[in-house]
Amino acid sequence: MKSKFLFVFISFILLNSASFATDPLSSDGDDGYKLWLKYEPLTDASVKAEYLKYAAFIGLSGKGEIAQSAGQELQKGLKSLLGKNVSVTNSSGNKTGGIVLKLEPAAANNQQQEAYRIQLSAGNIVVSSESESGILYGTFALLRHIQMQRSVKSLSQTSSPKVRYRMLNHWDNPDGSIERGYAGSSLWKWYELPECVDPRYEDYARANASLGINGTVLNNVNASARFMSQEYILKVAAIANVMRRYGIRTYLSVYFAAPKTLGGLSTSDPLDPKVRAWWADKVAQIYKEIPDFGGFLVKANSEGEPGPQDYGRTHADGANMLAEAFKPFEGIVIWRAFVYKADPNADRFKAAYEEFVPLDGKFDPKVIVQVKNGPIDFQPREPFSPMFGNMPKTPLGMEFQITQEYLGFATHAVYEAPIFKECLDSDTYVNGEGATVAKVVDGSLHGYARTLMAGVANTGNARNWTGHPLAQANWYAFGRLSWDHQLSSEEIAREWTELTLTRNQKACAHIVGLMLRSREIYVDYNTPLGLSRPWMGVHFAPEPWQNKGSRPDWTAVYYHRADSVGLGFDRTATGSNALAQYQPPVQAQWIDPDKTPLSYLLWFHHVGWDKKLSTGRTLWEELCTRFYTGADSVRWMQQQWELAKSNLDPQVYTDVAQRLKVQHREAVWWRDSWVLYLQTFAKKPIPTAFEPPKQTLEEVKQSVKVYLIR
Ligand code: GCW
């Protein structure tokens, strides 16, 4: 009796300590920590039986640490999915009935080292690749297939990444805060590093590797020079040691004036030999500690950050100086194109193009210029940046924003894959039809050797990583698209939902439907018909009336241009002529207000309040219709969520249900602010189909004021 009790007690301790190893603060129910890597036991008996036939062993041919991670992950996954402890062996010999992870010699015709193949061969499931990273990606793909209870029969696949550098950009500060972060504080515990290595770093790496992400920039682009000190390089090295095991290279954002502020030089002029020597030494010092260091990300001469222009030099001078420092190493320099000058008469839309396009061909081959998807700044809907396609001699990387800076922070459900896809699928018409932004970014249009897709991370130390449980899908979608931009938003939503929330097909359909419509719903109540930036400061409270700022383009009225005549920014030849930055066929889509798709209308035209639109309604009526149906549609989202309830974990169900209530309240807030404010120009009644706002403009303004009090 006594010994039985002891056995039960010891098992209890072991079980709990085992789960603590990866799950340091687990609570009752699904707290979201495991993301899409839950590996919940298979419930379909016939599928389970199929895989059990291949569960005799895991044969691992790679000896490096990435291959070891693949073996471990597979073992862990199978244990939970099939309930079987499968041992890992180094040589599978002629054995059958197992899963073989096989490193293949590099084939001459295959450039894509990270590609993988999964097939049934000689009685085994074989995952093969030329690289250990490829094996790891193939292993995650196999686990995804099993998790989704797909049959062995549909297992065969080959896959290769379309873009070489697939990375997250963290806007994390050394004090633990995150710029535009809504899921708690930074994952990186700088004050505890390098001695304390949080087990969570490994789970972060697993999650990224499962999507094919192979790089991470740990710190904010508004960078601190602190990261260039030996003390911090050692801290970074401790994180890099974890990332390396999952094929992820570590990068840093750099402060351009570090030679002065940290190095004590009298200048940071990129053409000064002492400055060049300082950076060369710095890079060498980093490689001593981090042999696979990825490179630098730089925000220069943007929003007050220092840069080469402080010394009369160009972006290319600055980037090339850093590239020179990386010459002896594999690392690269990623130079951001997010710049806009303080010219009150200028159109900010045009700024990045004007500064960068003339520099085409002047950058060192080690430099990639990283461009935000749209010309302004991560708005809920923007036309694609006109830079794409217009710098054929310079690799242009894509910068998407995963964190929901302009998309309702952590209280609004907005599935972002459609935003990413909309940009990637846009045709630049450079050299004719079919020249999509995706083809610029994946290098196929201009033959770029180095290609990049970056996403500004939405992670933080919230237990579920992203604050809003559905925001995990945005991290997931970014990663999947950075690997293969041809996947559809729907496929990705389905995968994520099945892996993360429920395998029940009906419930899945409700959730996927909600996700797919969520972005348009948000746009409708937030910035319909091509409106943008109705906010300053915190980037969330609705302030379309905001007209005072230290620069004209730091006011809301600069963007929407509401007046007694109408609404919208004229970017045709009668206005700023930003449209001229696009190829003629693109201009043709947007030049005529009668033909411009409604979703882009106010981006390019100042439209009269009474103008009849293609819907048969006037501009004013259409605006009201969008604001009202948008806000009402959040109710529809609530219903869809409710319909999935019985198939959801109660903790996740409640969390999302509560956030949807906030979303509805805030959607009404947005609607009322806009409608009441625009009414002061349009001077028209709200169409009778809609109930007029319950509050006055003054009351809404007051509530925004309260929201913004520090
Ligand atoms: O969107 C703006 C943000 C800033 C950010 C900047 C940038 C990191 O409001 O917080 O700074 O863009 O991308 O550099």
> Model confidence over 411-420: pLDDT tens digits?
999 999 999 9
Alpha carbon separation from 705 to 539, 541, 543, 698, 701 (Å, rounded): 13, 9, 9, 10, 6
Q: Is residue 283 part of a domain?
A: yes
pLDDT digits (tens, 9 = 90+) for 563-600: 999 999 999 999 999 999 999 999 999 999 999 999 99
Confidence of residue 451 (pLDDT cuts 50, 70, 90): very high
Q: Is residue 488 part of a domain?
A: no
221 in contact with ligand 1, CB cutoff 6 A: yes
Sequence-distant (≥ 6) Cβ neighbours of residue 666 within 8 angstroms:
408, 411, 412
Q: Whose CA is nearest to atom 11 of ligand 1?
A: 222
Q: Which pLDDT score, from 0 to 100, does residue 8 have?
A: 38
Q: Whose CA is nearest to atom 2 of ligand 1?
A: 377
Catalytic site includes residue 303: yes
Q: Do 412 and 272 share a domain, yes or no?
A: yes
Query: Is the per-residue pLDDT at 25 higher than 60?
Result: no
Domain count across the chain: 3
Two tokens at 605? 């035209």
Q: Do 286 and 421 share a domain, yes or no?
A: yes
Q: Do 278 and 355 share a domain, yes or no?
A: yes
- How many Å lie between the centroid of ligand 1 and the Cα of residue 175? 18
Top-confidence residue, 13 or 522: 522
Ligand 1: nearest atom to the Cα of 179: 10
Q: Is residue 408 part of a domain?
A: yes
Strand 607-608 relative to strand 566-567: parallel, antiparallel, unpaired? antiparallel
What mean pLDDT value characterizes the chain?
94
Ligand 1: nearest atom to the Cα of 221: 8
Residue 6 three-state SS: helix
Catalytic site includes residue 330: no
Nearest to 136 by CA among 28, 64, 194, 200: 64
Instruction: Specify the pTM.
Output: 0.95
Q: Please give the full DSSP string across 206-255, using - where no structure is assigned.
A: HHHHTTT--EEE-S-SS--GGGGSHHHHHHHHHHHHHHHTTT-EEEEEE-
CA distance 161 to 412: 31
CA distance 160 to 118: 12
Written as one letter, the residue type at 256 is: F
Q: Is residue 9 part of a domain?
A: no
Q: Do 240 and 106 share a domain, yes or no?
A: no
Mean pLDDT value across residues 111-116: 85
Last residue of a domain, one of 102, 131, 159: 159
Query: Is the per-residue pLDDT at 17 higher than 90?
Result: no
Q: Which pLDDT score, from 0 to 100, does residue 108 have?
A: 52
Q: Is residue 579 part of a domain?
A: no
Q: Do 344 and 318 share a domain, yes or no?
A: yes
Q: Which residues pair with 398 in a beta bridge?
A: 371, 453
Q: Do 150 and 287 share a domain, yes or no?
A: no
Query: Is the per-residue pLDDT at 489 higher than 60?
Result: yes
Q: Which pLDDT score, from 0 to 100, does residue 62 have?
A: 84
Domain containing residue 66: CATH number: 3.30.379.10
- How many Å lie between the centroid of ligand 1 and the Cα of residue 682? 33
Last residue of a domain, one of 159, 194, 220: 159
- How many Å lie between the centroid of ligand 1 and the Cα of residue 284? 30
Query: Is the per-residue pLDDT at 5 higher than 90?
Result: no
Percent of the chain with pLDDT over 70: 95
Mean pLDDT value across residues 593-616: 98
Query: Is the per-residue pLDDT at 111 higher than 80?
Result: no
Mean pLDDT value across residues 220-228: 98
Pocket test for ligand 1, best of 180, 299, 348, 532 (most atoms within 8 A of CB): 180
Confidence of residue 107 (pLDDT cuts 50, 70, 90): low
Q: Do 475 and 534 share a domain, yes or no?
A: no
590 in contact with ligand 1, CB cutoff 6 A: no
- How many Å lie between the centroid of ligand 1 and the Cα of residue 221? 8
Q: Do 330 and 393 share a domain, yes or no?
A: yes
535 in contact with ligand 1, CB cutoff 6 A: no
Whether 628 and 690 have beta carbons less than 8 Å apart is answered as: yes
Q: Whose CA is nearest to atom 3 of ligand 1?
A: 180
The DSSP letter of residue 183 is S
Query: Is the per-residue pLDDT at 22 higher than 70?
Result: no
Q: Do 325 and 463 share a domain, yes or no?
A: yes
Q: Do 670 and 550 share a domain, yes or no?
A: yes
- How many Å lie between the centroid of ligand 1 and the Cα of residue 456? 10
Ligand 1: nearest atom to the Cα of 171: 8
Q: Do 227 and 140 share a domain, yes or no?
A: no
Which of 303, 330, 425, 563 is catalytic? The answer is: 303
Q: Do 613 and 667 share a domain, yes or no?
A: yes
pLDDT digits (tens, 9 = 90+) for 192-213: 999 999 999 999 999 999 999 9
372 in contact with ligand 1, CB cutoff 6 A: no
Mean pLDDT value across residues 312-332: 98
Does residue 306 have a cis bond before it (omega within 30 degrees)? no
Mean pLDDT value across residues 337-352: 90
300 in contact with ligand 1, CB cutoff 6 A: no
Domain containing residue 659: CATH number: 3.90.1330.10
Please give the residue range of the domain that contains residue 224.
165-483
Residue 101 three-state SS: strand
Catalytic site includes residue 377: yes
Query: Is the per-residue pLDDT at 335 higher than 60?
Result: yes
Q: Which pLDDT score, from 0 to 100, does residue 90 have?
A: 87
Helix axes 505-526, 650-682, angle to 10 degrees: 20
Q: Whose CA is nearest to atom 13 of ligand 1?
A: 338
Q: Which residues pair with 169 in a beta bridge?
A: 217, 456
Helix axes 200-209, 230-244, angle to 10 degrees: 50
299 in contact with ligand 1, CB cutoff 6 A: yes
Mean pLDDT value across residues 151-157: 97
